[in-house]
Structure 1
Amino acid sequence: MANLEIVRLLVLLAVSLVPTIYACGGWINQWDGPLEFECRSVHQFVSRVQSIHNNHREDRRYKMSCRNIPSYVRHCHSTSCRWTGYLNNYDDLLMYNCGRNGYINGFRSVHNNHYEDRRWRVRCCTVRGLYLHDCTHTGWTNSWDRPQYYNTPYGQITSGVLSWHKNRYEDRRWKYRICKVRKAHCTGEPIEEDFVDIPAIADRSNTAPPAVEEMSVDTSYTDVPAVEESSGDGSSADTPDISISE
């Protein structure tokens, strides 16, 4: 009996040392239905995204889960969170980051059967004194009509998102902005510019966007360059090479 009690205590200790990852456990949206996901705690960021595409529905279903931000940040500073407005028009580019010290804590989206696309909102959280550095964008985490699997590398935080829609496939490809975290000083000066606002975007007709020479992550809406159609094999050649300045 004593040995069983020791084993039970050891198991509880081992579980407590594993980094906490909260998952929804299943799909968080139905085909063509609204999507709403929020981490259980403001001290967590969206760390994993999985999705599958259905060519009949022309939509994706998503699974998401979260991971804790560093404990030294959680204990030093208060945290504030809020939802953005819609960040993209149907069939258009989505490009957003949560500001200098923000991280993604949730997603919301609605689907439109006419455009066969989704408009997205992001929940950003920020901790005063949290410093993100060495930020970069991932490569594309999915091909057209193919499954998506994204997992944030350990030691980094998801702070932004970039998504490109293509009418030929009625699908989106996704990149994520990831940053390393510098240890915060509890007595440091607060950072005033926590969020960068983006106004809600009115719906537009499905017209071809004009070509542009360069885009930067200034969180304002930017039209995307026109691209030539490819053979349709779902390769990266169907996606424009979007230049992002950090």
Structure 2
Amino acid sequence: MRTAGLFLLLTGILANGQELHWENGYDQSLEFKCPAGQSISYIKMFPCITNKPSQHDDRMWEFGCKNTFDSGADCFLSPYVNDSDQTFTYECPPHHIIRGMSSYHSNKHEDCRWQFYCCRSSGQCTANCEWTTDVNCFDEFFHWTVPNQNYLVGAESYHENKHENRRWKYKYCSKVQC
């Protein structure tokens, strides 16, 4: 039943002229970085759903980008923020915004280790930050969009072995001159 629902959802998306463009395949690493001067504007995740509830696989991801930075943004890739099966909360340093995400999938744990690509433009700061509630349920497709006039700065996630999946929260802020 769940597979049929996902099929109908994807069929509806394709019928509306929106093309899906996944950044990775199942059991593959994810390496996504918005073009220079941009940051993540939306995140989509598609879980692998099988007919056997105990059989799980990795997830596929899609991202959108929006103009964010002036020329000459200072960027870096974080170290891994978690080990497999572990909870994490990661925030870019103050006044940095997330430009990309990277993960390495472990078949043994059916989970990923995560890194974040953070950038900052001189003279621009972040303010009025908020955390979302959970943006997804286990084993469900999700699409989360950064609210208008805001920018993604952090992520929090926990893994549950029963579902071999993660639930996600995101932190976003407005951008101000400083």
* TM-score tier (shorter): 0.7 to 0.9
The residue that corresponds to 2:58 in the other structure is: 59
The residue that corresponds to 1:225 in the other structure is: none
The one-letter code matched in structure 1 to 2:27 is D
TM-score by length of 2: 0.82
The residue that corresponds to 2:70 in the other structure is: 74
1:105 matches 2:104 = no
Residue 25 of structure 1, CA deviation:
5.6
The residue that corresponds to 1:33 in the other structure is: 28
Match of 1:141 among 127, 135, 138: 135
Q: CA RMSD in A?
A: 1.6
**Where in structure 1 are there 5+ consecutive unaligned residues?**
1-23, 186-246
Number of corresponding residues: 155
Structure number with bigger Rg: 1
Q: Given that residues 166 and 172 in structure 1 are in contact (C-alpha distance below 8 angstroms), is that contact kept between their aligned partners in structure 2?
A: yes
Residue 148 of structure 1, CA deviation:
1.2
Match of 1:162 among 138, 152, 156: 156
Q: Given that residues 110 and 120 in structure 1 are in contact (C-alpha distance below 8 angstroms), is that contact kept between their aligned partners in structure 2?
A: yes
The residue that corresponds to 2:110 in the other structure is: 116
Q: Given that residues 103 and 115 in structure 2 are in contact (C-alpha distance below 8 angstroms), is that contact kept between their aligned partners in structure 1?
A: yes
Which runs of 4 or more aligned residues in structure 1 lie more than 6 Å from their structure 2 counterparts after TM superposition? none
Match of 1:179 among 170, 173, 176: 173
Q: Given that residues 41 and 151 in structure 2 are in contact (C-alpha distance below 8 angstroms), is that contact kept between their aligned partners in structure 1?
A: yes
Paired residue secondary structure (1:179): strand
Q: Given that residues 164 and 174 in structure 1 are in contact (C-alpha distance below 8 angstroms), is that contact kept between their aligned partners in structure 2?
A: yes
Q: Given that residues 31 and 57 in structure 1 are in contact (C-alpha distance below 8 angstroms), is that contact kept between their aligned partners in structure 2?
A: no
Distance in 1 separating the partners of 2:110 and 2:151? 30
Match of 1:132 among 126, 148, 151: 126
Higher relative contact order (CA 8 A, sep 6+): 2
TM-score by length of 1: 0.60
Q: Given that residues 32 and 57 in structure 1 are in contact (C-alpha distance below 8 angstroms), is that contact kept between their aligned partners in structure 2?
A: no
1:90 matches 2:84 = yes
Residue 130 of structure 1, CA deviation:
1.3
**Where in structure 2 are there 5+ consecutive unaligned residues?**
1-18, 50-54
Residue 58 of structure 1, CA deviation:
2.4
Q: Given that residues 56 and 164 in structure 2 are in contact (C-alpha distance below 8 angstroms), is that contact kept between their aligned partners in structure 1?
A: no
The one-letter code matched in structure 2 to 1:28 is E
